[in-house]
Amino acid sequence: MQYGCIGEHLTHSFSKIIHGELTDYLYELREIPMGELEEFMAARDFKAINVTMPYKQDVIPHLKEVEPMAAAIGAVNTIVNRGGDLYGYNTDFGGMAALIARTGIDMTGKKVLILGTGGTSNTAMAVAKHLGAAQVYKVSRSAKTGVLTYDEVKAHHLDAQVLMNTTPRGMFAQEKGMSIDPALFPQLEGAVDAVYNPLRTEFILAARKQGARAAGGLYMLVCQAVLASEIFLDTKYPEGTAERIYRKIKSGKENIVLIGMPGSGKSTVGKLLSEKLGRPYLDVDTLITEKTGKTPAELISAEGEQAFRNMESEVIRSIALETGAVIATGGGAVLREENCNALRMNGKIFFLDRPVAQLLPTKDRPLSSTKEAILQRYHERYDRYVSTADVVIDNAASAEEAAQQVERNFLP
């Protein structure tokens, strides 16, 4: 192993992609099970590595020297092998500070809660204090000295203005949900999440719904990787390198999600985008048919609209964490907030706004089978489409023109 990243679970890590954008060295992802770290570190069979959960503190005893910043934080995420001696650094500090600055969060004089007590929480503590926070507390599910429990937070600290999640909660294929709901904090101004996959966790979506400035951890990951690679190679990358790579990776991982009325052109536009951009095409109604053996119309007729909506939500949950896809939804998918939240995690949502006069009734759409039904659905749902969408696309002309509009508003 020359260069790479070690951790317990790395299946969905973006680190290899980021380092591949920086230079041409061989960068590997090495999963190390609990109990095998000491053997790996003793072998020292690498030039330089990054370290992620849960080993940012555990590697320290194996190092000859730890830079002052990393030593003060008590966490190392970058190690360089120089002639058999291992030197430790912390580039997460710079990455997290850059994420906070890019998100526009001002911590000066604020109360900050850090969710979690692992190595990244130490970095978050150092960054918050460095940026002028007046009060900074760690929060844990279990009682620990100097650490708040979630019950204590709910009883005495709901006036916090900034939340920082450093736990794996919400990470792809890990624990779902949130450690605590940002909606509980009426004075919330900002939130950041070290989790970067999905791009936007439930925690970040809930914070944004509160009106807070909030962002997931992808920009932090990119920035710390740039800083780490500079240490690996004893070099300096041009200004703007991190922003360029962040935009490229975000665009490559983010889904294009199409919403709109039945007959608004979602399938046609979606297939055009899929072909042009080389992205997988996923149609929610088609997936429902494959799963149940019934078309949406047949499912509604046989089991009722509620059963159809439940199956629709199940399918959306299953595909929402896909990356780099084009997703066409059914006309009523936006009626459930859970669907909208799931699609937002990894998706940029486009509303294909076709004038109601151009929406034609068809028998395979039982809820829009007549002109009167279409008009009723249109008025019932229009505001919901607009409020759900990141971008509204005028689809009064051709599907090709609509696809071009989506592409212009999506690509970096």
Please give the angle made by the CA atoms of 151, 152 and 158, to the nearest 5 degrees. 95
Residues 192 and 203 sit within 8 Å (Cβ to Cβ): no
Beta-bridged to residue 49, according to DSSP, are 4, 79
Q: Distance between CA atoms of 117 and 194, rounded to whole angstroms?
A: 13
Report the candidate in 197, 199, 223 with the shortest Cα–Cα distance to residue 98.
Answer: 223
Whether the CB-CB separation of 125 and 138 falls below 8 Å is answered with yes
Find tokens 């998706």 and name the residue: 347
Burial of 109 (0-12, 13-18, 19+ CB in 10 A): exposed
Helices 296-303/305-319 angle, 10° precision: 140
Beta bridge partners of 7: 31
Residues 56, 110, 253, 266: which is the catalytic one?
A: 56
User: Is-catalytic flag, 56?
Assistant: yes
- Give residues with Cβ within 8 angstroms of 115, minimum separation 6: 121, 139, 163, 164, 165, 166, 167, 169, 179, 180
Q: Which two tokens stand for residue 203?
A: 């925690």
Q: Where are the beta strands (DSSP E) in 32-100?
A: 48-51, 65-66, 78-82, 85-89
**55, 103 Cβ separation under 8 angstroms:** no
Residue with tokens 């990358």: 237
From the list 225, 261, 230, the residue with the least C-alpha distance to 243 is: 225
235-249 b/e (C-beta count within 10 Å ≥ 16 → b): eebeeebbbebbebb
Place of tokens 């749902």: 381
Report which of 328, 318, 374, 322 is spatially closest to residue 351, judged by C-alpha positions.
328
Residues annotated as part of the active site: 56
